[in-house]
Structure 1
Amino acid sequence: MVMRILMINTVYAVGSTGKIVKQISRKAKEQGFECLIAHRYETEGVDYPENTVAVSSWWDCHIHNRLSRLTMLRGAFSGLKTRRFLKKVKNFAPDIIHLHNIHGNYINLSLLFKYIKKHGIRVVWTFHDCWPLTGNCKHFDMVACDKWKTGCGNCPQKNGALVDISAYMYGKKQRMFDGIKDMTIVTPSAWLAEKVRLSPLGKYPIKLINNGIDLSVFKPTESNFREKYGLVNKKIILGVSFEWDRRKGLDVFASLADALPADYRIVLVGANDEVKEALPNGIITIPKTDSQKALAEIYTAADLFVNPTREDTYPTVNMEAIACGTPVISFKTGGSPEIADDSCGLAVERDDVAAMTAQIIEVCEKKLYTKEACLARARSFNMHDRFEEYIKLYEDLI
């Protein structure tokens, strides 16, 4: 008998979570599972296979987003689209529903969880951020908030909502998530697993499965990057993000540019014109690229990858850099310090720019970490090994 897995995520094949869903579904199919992948709506330029289905539409999500921003009600709309989707779920009859990011304002969460509980469907839920734990927020480290442990309220991140209903949403979410007969929560980092244990959702089984990357793509890749940007005799300090802001440490790079010696050059990938204008002239900015090979070339050319993210779950970019032979320095935030061990990088206290500056110089001048050590560490990032753990989990549940 063929076992059926329904995966639900905001996106498919794009972004970190979309790529994870795509790879897990491929691995499951190879192992004989039948998969249906539900996503928000179709995006131009993405090849959607026959086993994908859009839950909503761009217009419906646009309305849902507007209403959510005004009211702070997340996942409370899109009722008609969700009912239509659940009819497809009924026809597919999944043995397991694997939830990923469900907070993109594209699905009615009350209807979804009522359906799950009514039909007693087994659930695997991969937490890619902290949203399931809170009344409103995907992350809470930057604002040093721990209200999610007790019930939220007076949210420091209500972001323009007319009324703060984070306490109400916290209670509503816990009621929705309570009573699922068979649910396993998966986290990509030990840090997030510990946060789940401290929350009401800690009553469910928690399994740690680190994310993985494609080591056939992210590997030492030679190029003319240094020649192209006039960096032949420079030490390249690299940062990569597709959402540059204070949360990702953009201001830290501006400070580093002033503090590092003259032969150091900061290169930031994923910067748009607005970001470029906000940075000192000495920083080289490169637009977002969808080419993983181009990214591998840039990672390989760098002397050091720096990730001053102030809140993150398990940053993929750290793994990608190490897999290309480049050591990593990060802040001690979220799951970021778990990726680079003593052989290929280090972490400093969050917002300690002086310590980060000193460590950057020491690592580069003394060449503390070798390419070989980075590549040895990267073997543990193999996505095929990591996603095989999901297949084992499915088999154990069924």
Structure 2
Amino acid sequence: MPKLLQISIEVNSGSVGRIAHQIGDTVLANGWSSFITYARNNNPTNSEVVRIGSGLDVYCSALKTRIFDNDGFNSKNATKSLTKTIEKIKPDIIHLHHLHGYFVNIEILFNYIKKQDIPVVWTFHDCWSFTGHCAYFDFVNCNKWKTECHTCEQKKEYPKSLFIDRSNQNFIKKKKIFTSIKKMTIVSVSKWLDEKVNESFLKDVNTRVIYNGVDLERFYPKNSRDRIDQLYNVEGKYLLLGVASTWDSRKGLLDFIALSKTLDKSFVIILIGLSKTQLKLLPENIIGIERTESQDELCELYSASDLFLNLSVEETFGLTTAEALACGVPTVVYNATACPELITKETGYIIEKGNIVELNKVIEEAKKLGKSYFTNECRKRAVSLFDKNERFMEYYNLYNEILNKNEKQ
């Protein structure tokens, strides 16, 4: 019985943690054993879970990163303990997800994997793996990662450093560490991200593109408008929705606020995923909701909305957009990074980033056409591209392809 070990910071929580959980379910259904690591946020899953370190370890690693700008190079004891657990499990394949987030030491982990000659699949959900510091660089139009990072403009962005800039040292060490594994396949979650990987120091590594999957049985056009109308007192309003795990200028929060100032009383905006501080600063025509782990609640809000707005300027995929399409909701995205890949003229609009005037125009057009004009095509696109059963089977097929290749060598 083949064994899969996924290294993730979360299990069945957040977009990446849910992806790890669903991949685990896929291999379990096909007779494999499945193990998933976590350092925080462990929700119920059918896979066996392995904790990396403790909450204190994560806190200490985050503190060191704030001072020394060395995320990925702390957590030594936790990672040594992880390697001992891997030795006991003896996985046939290790599937990596995010390795930032203050929970693992990449040097210790990769040295162990190299020594044991374990095949690796590594899903890139952002760009941290080939930069000297940041997870995203398009917002500041930085291309230093193509040659060699230094003097990072985003030192104080996640993973934040308050004092030291080690972007150059980090870049050099990451390049050495991440190119040391011969049996590695990088999976990008969009064509845009795959292009960036092939412009980076990882250009000689095998790559694939596998879109993120959506649970189409959970996210579907639901008759929830009446309930949402009563719950949030938005009856008769044209409902604009935005969803993010965390909100900042990169995700478009300031653009939503700017948009709200241009709308008349027939419109209302609902934003999901705001912090308590952000909730207090919202204008009257924006209804703010804190982050929810309930996919049923999300589905109801998607389905009740007339138009979904993804005003993020940096997305390596855009899972919320795919979920909105699955619920039959037309979507507006900015013409930036991976977002345009998800949208067609039959399912929404692609506009220039930050252009509130153009945003107003497409909102008015969508309102005139009506949501029903788009719904069938939105659902059809989600079914054809983002069905989790098909997308996660792509991973299962990739695992088998790798194992068969190794057997022949």
Q: TM-score range by the shorter chain?
A: over 0.9
Superposed CA deviations along residues 357-384 of structure 1, whole A, max 9, x for unmatched, are 2111111123374211111112121101
1:5 aligns with 2:9: no
User: 1:115 maps to which residue?
Assistant: 112
SS at match of 2:261: helix
Q: Which amino acid aligns with 2:34?
A: C
Corresponding residue number in structure 1 for 2:67: 70
User: What's the TM-score, normalizing by structure 1?
Assistant: 0.96
- Pick from 115, 120, 127: which aligns with 2:124? 127
Q: State how 1:1-398 maps to structure 2 within 5 Å.
A: 2-41=1-40, 43=42, 46-47=43-44, 51-159=48-156, 160-223=161-224, 224-367=227-370, 369-380=373-384, 381-398=386-403
Letter in 2 for 1:131: W
What is the RMSD computed on CA atoms of the aligned residues?
1.5
Between 275-284 and 163-172, the greater mean CA deviation after superposition: 275-284
The share of aligned pairs that are identical, in percent, is 37
Contact 2:53 2:78 in 1 (8 A): yes
Please tell me the residue identity of whatever aligns with 2:100. H
Listed one character per residue, the Cα deviations across residues 77-97 of structure 1 (whole Å, up to 9, x for unaligned) are 221221121111112112211
Conservation of the 8 A alpha-carbon contact between 1:315 and 1:335: yes
Distance 1:253 1:83 in 2: 45
Gaps of 5+ in 1: none
C-alpha offsets along residues 263-297 of structure 1, whole Å, 9 cap, x if unaligned? 11111122233212222112122232222111111
Whole-Å Cα distance in 1 between the matches of residues 287 and 80 of structure 2?
Answer: 49
Structure 1 residue 49 displacement after superposition: 5.4
Deviation at 1:162, TM superposition (A): 1.8
Do the aligned partners of residues 262 and 207 (structure 1) sit closer, same or farther apart at CA in structure 2, a change above 3 Å counting?
A: same
Task: Confirm or deny: 8 A CA contact 2:34 2:47 kept in the other structure.
Answer: no
Q: Is the 8 A contact 1:343 1:377 kept in 2?
A: no
Query: Which whole-Å CA distance do the structure 1 matches of 2:131 and 2:303 have between them?
Result: 38
> Structure 1 stretch 117-126 or stretch 227-236: which is displaced more?
227-236
Dislocated runs of 4+, deviation >6 Å: none
| Contact 1:83/1:111, CA 8 A, preserved across alignment | yes
Structure 1 residues 262, 41: CA separation in 2 closer, same or farther (over 3 Å shift)? closer
For the Cα contact (< 8 Å) 2:6–2:20, is it kept in 1?
yes
The one-letter code matched in structure 1 to 2:354 is D
Give the Cα separation in 2 of the matches to 1:198 and 1:309.
23
> Unaligned regions of 5+ residues in structure 2, if any?
404-409
Contact 1:41–1:56 under 8 Å retained in 2: no
- How many Å apart are 1:166 and its aligned residue? 0.2
2:406 corresponds to: none
Instruction: Please say which of residues 351-360 and 387-396 is displaced more in the overlay.
Output: 351-360
Shift in Å at residue 342 of structure 1?
Answer: 2.1
Distance change in 2, residues 1:272/1:38 (3 Å): closer
CA distance in 2, matches of 1:77, 1:296: 38
